């Protein structure tokens, strides 16, 4: 079992959801990134994603674009990111996932990248512009090195693509919540619950939702749908705002603790196939304080199945993909 | 040489493909299907042919540049006059086809990227013609350099969005157009202007520009009673070049030469010659040769011509370069400016600075070949848009 799989299994067992936090490696410097990751792990992040800066981040909104430019200006390179991970591995036990664009990975060399990353203690890699159709060469090297190659599923993914992605993705499945680039949004997309339900029909792998998730309330809503919530731009923006402040690391840590709070124990297993009509139309509402844990979506018995949560039988006539 | 390229996933050998965020995969597959269907749709083809003929002004002439030929004292130089197309460049061929396709797909909004502004103007033109909403992304630096084209686009009813990110040039405009497309993919058609990007764009753009090469075959057969000996065209992304070259790929006796922007010289590092000085990588959805550093970060291209100011090249060019079918050379800014002046003075034709690169190399080449040989130069656009750049380079003020 890889570190990612073990993490999600452990959280499921405790009825918890994962908080996945994203930092742009090298923003404002790799030394600070290192401190931020340690603080994140201490304050409740269950998985940490490290963005590898790229000159042309076409899947990213302005906040992460700016962070990438700052990181590149500070001299961040793939080899230096991997060295940083190697030093971090001695300090933190959380799974570390790189989020990269394909060209810097290609330039490093696929085999060399997979080996060096795995040796450094990287657990998984997400490549924003590498759909499964193009991923075979990297997937082969990643598998040989014991690195989880995580794929993304989008709102536009057709049913056959959802199946393909669910089958290929390792570690977890990254659900892109909206059609768009990374960045904070006021509201979560209304069709998110449907999207997750569709995905749950074809996989038991952990599902994490990212893009547009920035507040504890939104994280709480995600916690009722998925195994984990991924927060990127909101954290990166905080790093941008507080860079240079002596309280940067602490402030980010406080924010992460706030994000993690609604995901802590008592959520039961993540809903697999939710019962029809169970308030799916309203996953966006902020739960009243202390009341979020009794959500009707969950399939209750806490401790019901570590790692392999009981999948409720498919409702008769459930849409087949 | 196989003519069945690319494969089902859009690969030309190891080049091309679809390297995009998952959000765009299904839309690209849908686009590919729509394009395949449109190609077989007679009504679509008739409408496109009529527009190319009556609106764009095709066929464009194949003109024997006699005084230029005489001056060089070697091979005959013919110009394929894409500069005479409506809007002043070959770009309209592709734009009319894709705008018709957008309408056929019931998309009411088109977006485009533009460098020099030629593709933006062409897209704005087609959008005006077909009643589509049109937003054009343009690097902030290009907006400053090409104020005239910005104003033309606005007159045509398009919105021009200045891109401040990154190097503020064409590559950043493409990033921003892709971000818009990712966000609005259900309602918006991305009208890409060069023979690059994710599949099916390189194929679609090539198919739509192949009319250049097909006409050239017919015209040289009539004039020369045979095919030309050499084809020369400038290559930024490579759309006019692949349009001219593609119908001749199987004719092994026709030499095919792409001319890249040498900028201030390859040795200076300030150029746009991705074939001569780049390495294989992935940018904007396809694998090809790119200007990049050792860490895989994309470099900033440089060329006096904004239309060639791009750090990559179309994947089909990369494939035929590796296969030994296409040759690539580079021409510096200074040589291109010289080509511009020579053609203007000797033939009364002011070429776009992009096309002036091809002219400059054709002059070089003609001098080394006997009079019995014929060179066809893809004169991809007219130079009015570049007059202020030329004036500045010559150290003269306009007016």
* Record: contact A104-B298, CB cut-off 8 A: no
Residues ≥6 apart with Cβ < 8 Å to B358: B232, B233, B234, B259, B339, B377, B378, B379, B380
Whether the per-residue pLDDT at A90 is higher than 50: the answer is: yes
Strands A207-210 and A228-231, how do they pair? parallel
- How is residue B87 written in tokens? 């809007």
User: Rounded to an integer, what distance in angstroms lies between the CA atom of residue A285 and that of residue A74?
Assistant: 41
- Which chain B residues touch A if contact means CB-CB below 8 Å? 9, 17-27, 165-166, 171-172, 174-175, 178-179, 182-186, 279-285, 290, 292, 294-298
**Helical (H) or strand (E) element with B330:** strand B326-332
Give the nearest partner residue to A130 out of B19, B279, B283, using CB atoms.
B19
| The 3-state secondary structure of B35-52, one letter per residue | HHHHHHCHHHHHHHHHHH
B380 is known as an active-site residue: yes
Phi, psi of B292 (to 5 degrees): -155, 165
State residue A272's pLDDT score.
64
Q: In a mutagenesis test of the B interface, which of A113, A130, A149, A179 is the best target, namely the one with the most B β-carbons within 10 Å?
A: A179
**Looking at CA atoms only, how far is residue B281 from chain A in angstroms?**
6
User: Rounded to an integer, what distance in angstroms lies between the CA atom of residue B87 and that of residue B89?
Assistant: 6
Give the nearest partner residue to B283 out of A56, A77, A133, using CB atoms.
A56
* Record: contact A61-B179, CB cut-off 8 A: yes
DSSP of A22-41, one letter per residue?
EEETTSS-HHHHHHHHHHHH
Give the nearest partner residue to B295 out of A78, A176, A181, using CB atoms.
A78
* Record: contact A103-B171, CB cut-off 8 A: no
* Record: contact B290-A103, CB cut-off 8 A: yes
Closest by Cα among A292, A46, A135 to B25: A135
Q: In a mutagenesis test of the B interface, which of A25, A53, A58 is the best target, namely the one with the most B β-carbons within 10 Å?
A: A58
The H-assigned helical ranges of B252-386 are 274-277, 315-322, 333-347, 353-366
Residues ≥6 apart with Cβ < 8 Å to B244: B80, B209, B212, B213, B216, B231, B233, B376, B378
Residue A315 DSSP class: P
**Given the residues A46, A60, A227, A295, the one annotated as active site:** A60
Give the nearest partner residue to B295 out of A58, A107, A181, using CB atoms.
A107
Owner of token pair 């392999």: A308
**Looking at CA atoms only, how far is residue A54 from chain B in angstroms?**
6
pLDDT for A276-305, tens place per residue? Answer: 444 333 334 444 443 333 333 333 333 333
Closest by Cα among A46, A37, A50 to A19: A46
Closest by Cα among A78, A67, A61, A79 to A32: A67
State residue B104's pLDDT score.
97
User: Rounded to an integer, what distance in angstroms lies between the CA atom of residue B314 and that of residue B175?
Assistant: 16
User: Rounded to an integer, what distance in angstroms lies between the CA atom of residue B287 and that of residue B278?
Assistant: 12
User: Rounded to an integer, what distance in angstroms lies between the CA atom of residue A72 and that of residue A162?
Assistant: 34
Residue B291 DSSP class: -
User: Rounded to an integer, what distance in angstroms lies between the CA atom of residue A281 and that of residue A294?
Assistant: 17
Question: In chain B, which stretches have pLDDT less than 70?
Answer: 1-3, 399
For residues A88 and A38, the answer to whether their CB atoms sit within 8 Å is yes
- How is residue B44 written in tokens? 């679509």
Indicate the angle between helix axes B118-130 and B91-104, nearest 10 degrees: 40
**Given the residues A49, A141, A227, A269, the one annotated as active site:** A49
B91 is known as an active-site residue: yes
Owner of token pair 């057969």: B221
* Record: contact B182-A61, CB cut-off 8 A: no
Contacts across the A-B interface (CB distance below 8 Å): 121
Least CA distance to B176: which residue of chain A?
A58
Strands A228-231 and A18-24, how do they pair? parallel
For residues A204 and A308, the answer to whether their CB atoms sit within 8 Å is yes
Phi, psi of B65 (to 5 degrees): -85, 90
pLDDT for A13-62, tens place per residue? Answer: 999 999 999 999 999 999 999 999 999 999 999 999 999 999 999 999 99
Give B-chain residues touching A77 at CB under 8 angstroms: 295
**Looking at CA atoms only, how far is residue B293 from chain A in angstroms?**
9
- Alpha-carbon distances of B242 from B36, B194, B260, B317, B326, rounded to whole Å: 19, 10, 13, 7, 10
The beta strand positions in A194-264, using DSSP E, are 207-210, 228-231
**Given the residues B113, B141, B215, B354, the one annotated as active site:** B113
Give B-chain residues touching A78 at CB under 8 angstroms: 295-296
Strands B62-64 and B76-81, how do they pair? antiparallel
* Record: contact B166-A157, CB cut-off 8 A: no
Mean pLDDT of chain A, nearest integer: 87
* Record: contact A61-B178, CB cut-off 8 A: no
* Record: contact A181-B183, CB cut-off 8 A: yes
The beta strand positions in B98-236, using DSSP E, are 109-114, 133-139, 159-163, 188-190, 230-234
For residues B360 and B291, the answer to whether their CB atoms sit within 8 Å is no
* Record: contact A165-B22, CB cut-off 8 A: yes
Q: Would you call B63 helix, strand, or coil by DSSP?
A: strand
pLDDT for A181-202, tens place per residue? Answer: 999 999 999 999 999 999 999 9
**Helical (H) or strand (E) element with A148:** strand A148-150
Label residue A321 by pLDDT band (50, 70, 90). very low
How many CB atoms lie under 10 A from the CB of residue A284? 15
Phi, psi of B289 (to 5 degrees): -80, 135
User: Rounded to an integer, what distance in angstroms lies between the CA atom of residue B167 and that of residue B170?
Assistant: 8
Dihedral sign of CA atoms A304, A306, A309, A310 in order: negative
**Looking at CA atoms only, how far is residue B174 from chain A in angstroms?**
9
Give B-chain residues touching A166 at CB under 8 angstroms: none
B348 φ/ψ sector (left φ>0, alpha ψ -120 to 50, else beta)? left
User: Rounded to an integer, what distance in angstroms lies between the CA atom of residue B319 and that of residue B180?
Assistant: 30
User: Rounded to an integer, what distance in angstroms lies between the CA atom of residue B19 and that of residue B288?
Assistant: 11
* Record: contact A157-B22, CB cut-off 8 A: yes
State residue B146's pLDDT score.
86
For residues A25 and A33, the answer to whether their CB atoms sit within 8 Å is yes
Give B-chain residues touching A62 at CB under 8 angstroms: 165
Residues ≥6 apart with Cβ < 8 Å to B66: none
- How is residue A44 written in tokens? 């409740």
Residues ≥6 apart with Cβ < 8 Å to A203: A166, A167, A173
* Record: contact B175-A156, CB cut-off 8 A: no
pLDDT for A235-245, tens place per residue? Answer: 999 999 999 99
Least CA distance to B167: which residue of chain A?
A55
pLDDT for A129-187, tens place per residue? Answer: 999 999 999 999 999 999 999 999 999 999 999 999 999 999 999 999 999 999 999 99
How many CB atoms lie under 10 A from the CB of residue A162? 22
User: Rounded to an integer, what distance in angstroms lies between the CA atom of residue A31 and that of residue B291?
Assistant: 30
A56 is known as an active-site residue: no
Least CA distance to A131: which residue of chain B?
B22
B11 φ/ψ sector (left φ>0, alpha ψ -120 to 50, else beta)? beta
- How is residue B116 written in tokens? 């020099």
DSSP of A46-76, one letter per residue?
SEEEEEPP-S--TT--HHHHHHHHHHHHTT-
User: Rounded to an integer, what distance in angstroms lies between the CA atom of residue B62 and that of residue B223?
Assistant: 9
Whether the per-residue pLDDT at A306 is higher than 60: the answer is: no
Closest by Cα among B308, B323, B244 to B274: B308
User: Rounded to an integer, what distance in angstroms lies between the CA atom of residue B67 and that of residue B294?
Assistant: 47
User: Rounded to an integer, what distance in angstroms lies between the CA atom of residue B324 and that of residue B231?
Assistant: 15
**Given the residues B80, B91, B171, B385, the one annotated as active site:** B91
State residue B35's pLDDT score.
98
Phi, psi of B198 (to 5 degrees): -70, 150
* Record: contact A129-B294, CB cut-off 8 A: no
């Amino acid at each position: 079992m890889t570190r990612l799989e073990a993490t999600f299994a452990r959280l499921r067992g405790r009825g918890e959801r994962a908080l996945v936090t994203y930092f742009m490696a090298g923003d404002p410097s790799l030394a600070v990134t290192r401190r931020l990751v340690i603080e994140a792990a201490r304050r409740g992040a269950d998985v940490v994603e490290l963005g590898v800066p790229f000159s042309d981040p076409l899947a990213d909104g302005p906040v992460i674009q700016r962070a990438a430019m700052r990181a590149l200006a500070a001299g961040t390179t793939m080899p230096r990111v991997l060295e940083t991970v190697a030093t971090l591995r001695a300090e933190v036990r959380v799974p570390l996932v790189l989020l990269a664009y394909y060209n810097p990975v290609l330039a490093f060399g696929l085999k060399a990248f997979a080996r060096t990353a795995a040796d450094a203690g990287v657990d998984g890699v997400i490549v924003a512009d590498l759909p499964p159709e193009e991923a075979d060469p990297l997937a082969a090297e990643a598998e040989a090195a014991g690195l989880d190659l995580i794929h993304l599923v989008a709102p536009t993914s057709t049913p056959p693509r959802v199946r393909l992605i669910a089958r290929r993705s390792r570690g977890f499945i990254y659900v892109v919540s909206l059609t768009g680039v990374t960045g904070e949004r006021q509201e979560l997309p209304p069709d998110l619950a449907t999207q997750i339900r569709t995905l749950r029909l074809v996989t038991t792998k952990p599902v994490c939702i990212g893009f547009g998730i920035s507040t504890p309330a939104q994280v709480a809503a995600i916690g009722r749908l998925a195994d984990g919530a991924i927060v990127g731009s909101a954290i990166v923006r905080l790093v941008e705002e507080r860079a240079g402040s002596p309280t940067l690391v602490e402030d980010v840590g406080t924010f992460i603790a706030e994000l993690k709070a609604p995901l802590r124990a008592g959520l039961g297993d993540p809903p697999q196939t939710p019962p029809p009509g169970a308030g799916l139309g309203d996953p966006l509402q902020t739960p009243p304080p202390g009341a979020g844990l009794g959500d009707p979506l969950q399939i209750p018995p806490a401790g019901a199945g570590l790692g392999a949560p009981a999948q409720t039988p498919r409702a008769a006539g459930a849409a087949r993909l | 040489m196989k003519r069945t390229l690319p494969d089902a996933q859009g690969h030309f050998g190891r080049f091309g493909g679809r390297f995009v965020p998952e959000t765009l995969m299904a839309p690209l597959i849908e686009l590919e299907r729509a394009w395949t269907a449109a190609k077989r749709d007679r009504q679509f083809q008739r409408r496109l042919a009529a527009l190319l003929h009556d609106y764009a002004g095709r066929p464009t002439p194949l003109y024997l540049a006699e005084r230029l030929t005489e001056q060089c004292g070697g091979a005959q130089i013919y110009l394929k006059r894409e500069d005479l197309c409506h809007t002043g460049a070959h770009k309209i061929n592709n734009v009319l086809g894709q705008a018709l396709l957008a309408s056929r797909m019931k998309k009411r909004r088109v977006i485009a990227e533009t460098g020099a502004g030629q593709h933006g103007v062409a897209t704005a033109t087609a959008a005006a013609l077909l009643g589509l909403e049109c937003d054009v992304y343009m690097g902030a630096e290009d907006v400053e350099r090409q104020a005239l084209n910005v104003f033309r686009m606005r007159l045509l009813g398009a919105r021009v969005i200045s891109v401040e990110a990154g190097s503020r040039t064409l590559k950043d405009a493409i990033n921003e157009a892709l971000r818009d497309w990712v966000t609005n993919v259900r309602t918006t058609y991305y009208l890409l202007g060069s023979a690059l990007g994710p599949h099916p764009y390189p194929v679609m753009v090539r198919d739509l520009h192949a009319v250049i090469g097909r006409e050239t075959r017919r015209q040289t057969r009539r004039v020369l009673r045979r095919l030309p000996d050499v084809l020369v065209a400038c290559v930024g992304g490579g759309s006019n070049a692949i349009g001219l070259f593609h119908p001749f790929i199987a004719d092994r006796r026709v030499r095919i030469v792409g001319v890249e922007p040498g900028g201030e010289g390859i040795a200076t590092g300030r150029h746009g010659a991705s074939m001569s000085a780049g390495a294989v990588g992935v940018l904007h959805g396809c694998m090809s040769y790119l200007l990049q550093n050792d860490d895989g970060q994309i470099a900033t291209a440089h060329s006096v011509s904004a239309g060639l100011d791009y750090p990559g090249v179309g994947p089909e060019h990369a494939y035929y370069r590796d296969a030994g079918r296409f040759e690539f050379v580079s021409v510096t800014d200074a040589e291109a400016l010289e080509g511009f002046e020579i053609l203007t003075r000797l033939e009364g034709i002011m070429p776009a600075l992009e096309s002036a690169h091809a002219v400059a190399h054709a002059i070089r080449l003609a001098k080394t070949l006997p009079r019995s040989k014929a060179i066809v130069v893809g004169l991809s656009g007219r130079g009015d848009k570049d007059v202020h750049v030329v004036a500045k380079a010559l150290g003269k003020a306009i007016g």
